[in-house]
Amino acid sequence: MASSIDTNRILTQSFMTALAQAQGQWAKFCKLIDSTGVAQVTLGQGAFGGTMSTVSRTATANPSASDFFTFESDFAVAHKALVHTFPVQTRASEYAMEDLGVQLAGLVANELDAAAGALLSGLFAAAHPRAGAGAGEVGAGKKYIDTGLAFLAGEAGAGTQDNLITSALAEASLNTAIKLLLQYKSDRGVSLNLGQAGGLCLVVAPKNAQTAHELVVSALSGSDNASNFVKGLVSEIVVTNHLSDDDDWFLIDPKATPLAIAYDSPAVRLTTQTQGLLHDAVVECRLVACKAPYEPGIIGSNVA
């Protein structure tokens, strides 16, 4: 019979290998976090009970995060614990442990897919001019306007801004989004200088994958064959299935994203029940996302 240490090692190795291969969900999830600049807060095992205070302390020290974060019930991935119980004698087989690791990794991959969806839903929800809403600064004649169509039509007054537009992805609308980022100010009227150094991330659904590539990667502009203004500012394209509408898209400055996410890397551990006859293989996949009360750094397009 394999020792307890060997059993845990075999199970862990099998689990992590299978997780990396399970449609690449863990790798995709981490890439999504990196690309969109979400402030990462990785908690140690057992520390998740103090998630809120831990994220708050870490976020204030992170230059890519806003100073304050608020947790919202509609933007949180519940902590998941998957438990598989089996007889002690099963541990004697390395093949059984390897197979168990593969099965558990498949379950966790589903959780990561849901987490990615929640993350992107929160990103898109953040692309709305709510900064200052509590002070009555949204609406006609206010600092922020709640309709991108009216903003683009020039109906907003001087000094008004908006981070939600309604145009389909195209050269003109992407240029508009970039310029809105460049002009964006804080609720106190201070220029934030977003996107001036490039490094922007464009998030689209599969329907717009080719359009995004042509807009960003081409050396020449499609409209006049001049130098492509967008290419030097947008450095990454993220294609995802999680947008609620195939036509929706958004542009993010990863250095000023309004979101943070706290997570424990998926892990598996083996414990023995008190009677000594059964093992519990426990897999934990715990993630919580939060957003800042102000939402600079993101321009979204909600296409009808």
Looking only at the bridges linking them, the beta strands covering 164-165 and 298-301 are: parallel
pLDDT at 85 exceeding the cut of 90: no
Residue with the two structure tokens 């001019």: 129
* 263-300 per-position pLDDT tens digit: 767 778 777 777 777 777 777 776 666 676 667 788 88
Write the CB contacts of 234 (distance below 8 Å, at least 6 apart in sequence).
Answer: 174, 178, 198, 200, 201, 202, 215, 216, 251
Running DSSP on this structure, what letter comes out for residue 189? S
* Whole-structure pTM value: 0.74
- Range with the lowest mean pLDDT among 73-82, 130-139, 208-217? 73-82
DSSP E strands, the chain:
39-42, 80-87, 164-165, 200-204, 234-239, 249-252, 259-272, 278-291, 298-301
CB 197 within 8 A of CB 232: no
145-257 is classed in which CATH architecture?
Answer: 2-Layer Sandwich (3.30)
Strand (E) or helix (H) holding 58: helix 51-61
Query: How many degrees, rounded to 5, is the angle at CA 120 between CA 68 and CA 58?
Result: 30
What separation in angstroms does the CA of 94 have from each of 4, 91, 221, 276?
12, 7, 58, 20
Q: Within 13 Å, how many C-alpha atoms sit on residue 295's CB side? A: 25
- Residue 212: predicted pLDDT: 93
Please give the Cα distance from 26 to 28 (Å, whole number): 5
**Confidence class for position 22, pLDDT limits 50, 70, 90:** low
* 183-200 per-position pLDDT tens digit: 887 767 788 888 888 889
Write the CB contacts of 9 (distance below 8 Å, at least 6 apart in sequence).
Answer: none
Please give the Cα distance from 109 to 105 (Å, whole number): 6
pLDDT at 207 exceeding the cut of 80: yes
Letter string b/e over residues 200-238, b meaning 16 or more CB atoms within 10 A of that residue's CB: bbbbbbebbeebbeebbeeeebeeeeeebebbebbebbb
User: Could you tell me how far CA 258 lies from the centroid of its own chain?
Assistant: 10
Tokens encoding 90: 């099963």
pLDDT at 1 exceeding the cut of 50: no
- Residue 54: predicted pLDDT: 43
